[in-house]
Amino acid sequence: MQSEMSMDSIPKYSGKPTLYLDQNILDLFVKNGVGSFGQELIDKFQIVYSDETLKEIRRSTGYENDFLNVLKELGSYHLKIAIEQPGFIITDKATITCRDVFEAFEVYCSNDNEHENIESSMNQWLFKFSGGRMGDSISDIHEEQLSAFAQLMDGMLEKADELPVGMRSQIKKYSELIMEQYKSTLHELENTISKDIPDTTEWNGIKSYRESVGIGPKELNNIEPPKVIEKIWDAVSVKLPESAHINSLEDFFQIRINPIYPDRPYHLHQKITGMYNMLNTLGYFPDSKVHKERRFIAAMSDNSHASMASFCNVLLSRDENFVRKVRAVYEYLAVPTEVRLVTVSYA
């Protein structure tokens, strides 16, 4: 299946069951070789990797070729979410492409260089919420985000100069619209936060949130499957203040409507991202030390892996906390992907 095909022409995948590997599995193979365990996976599954996999490989400075060679040896295919044109609208479909992994990595790095600034700025709010960026206010971060977003839009318009006049006009109109929507979203968010927290320079959102509802890892990590999400909602709902105006599990986990674009479809893989984030915020087997940038970035990658793996038959990971969160989210959203915790070790 090719990612450049139109939505209607994407054929249904008909190969072996698809297998998504968390980065810690690839790390195992880099350190110890593919071995019999890897060969067993090759025989049974079509292994796939995502752009998030490539992103983590890019961060493994000095070991990029080692990871890429493992993906090549595993016969891995490239998994990508399909984007609808025009408008760059995210869909609920994904494509699997057989391509040289080194070429895929080169293309990814080239594209990432263009969008690195905007992606980094978009993540700064969550990093601040997680306890990072002490000394900076929400307003400071929003100014950075608007600047980065404006640069992205300017870049789009520059490229549009080569297009026919009608298409240029359409892209210009669209870029202005989403810029206004983005400004409005940030403004609304800032106003909401400032009502309760006038000074956000020393604010730790996760710590404040857990204190406000009187719940955290100590209480939540005793919750066992099945129906983890429902049990967490039962525990939290009785502690929420009436002023929160949250009366349903769907509203609490922000999965009823698209929180950024309420008029657009809210796809399953997007809901997974939101629910996984909320479990980390609440403290259900949370990622540790996310106030440190390196750990925050790793947690963001885990979230993306959880989202992308929902398009596959099986997900493998060696991280028990990750597996617990993903299983809880998948169970509630009825995602059929099987999540397996790998405990294999090498002598």
The reported pLDDT for the residue numbered 181 is 81
Q: Is the peptide bond before 86 cis (omega within 30 degrees of 0)?
A: yes
The reported pLDDT for the residue numbered 86 is 63
The reported pLDDT for the residue numbered 21 is 98
The reported pLDDT for the residue numbered 113 is 60
Q: Where are the alpha helices (DSSP H) in the chain?
A: 23-32, 35-44, 51-59, 64-73, 101-129, 138-160, 165-196, 205-213, 217-220, 228-237, 249-252, 268-282, 293-309, 320-333
Per-residue pLDDT of 102-137, as tens digits, reads 999 999 998 866 566 667 777 887 899 899 899 998
What three-state secondary structure class fits 133?
coil
The reported pLDDT for the residue numbered 61 is 96
For residue 134, what is the DSSP state?
A: T
Cβ pair 313, 48 in contact under 8 A: no
First to last CA, the chain: 39
Cβ pair 81, 93 in contact under 8 A: yes
Per-residue pLDDT of 143-187, as tens digits, reads 888 888 888 777 767 777 777 777 777 777 777 787 888 888 888
d(CA 340, CA 342): 6
pTM of this prediction?
0.85
The reported pLDDT for the residue numbered 117 is 67
158: how many CB neighbours lie within 10 A of its CB? 9
The reported pLDDT for the residue numbered 197 is 84
Per-residue pLDDT of the chain (347 residues; tens, 9 = 90+): 333 445 566 788 989 999 999 999 999 999 999 999 999 999 999 999 999 999 999 999 999 999 999 999 999 999 999 988 766 789 999 999 999 999 999 999 988 665 666 677 778 878 998 998 999 988 888 888 888 888 877 776 777 777 777 777 777 777 778 788 888 888 887 888 778 788 889 989 899 989 888 899 999 999 999 999 999 999 999 988 777 788 899 999 999 998 877 888 999 999 999 999 999 999 999 999 998 999 999 999 999 999 999 999 999 999 999 999 999 999 999 999 999 999 976 65
The reported pLDDT for the residue numbered 5 is 44
Question: Token pair for residue 166?
Answer: 């009608």
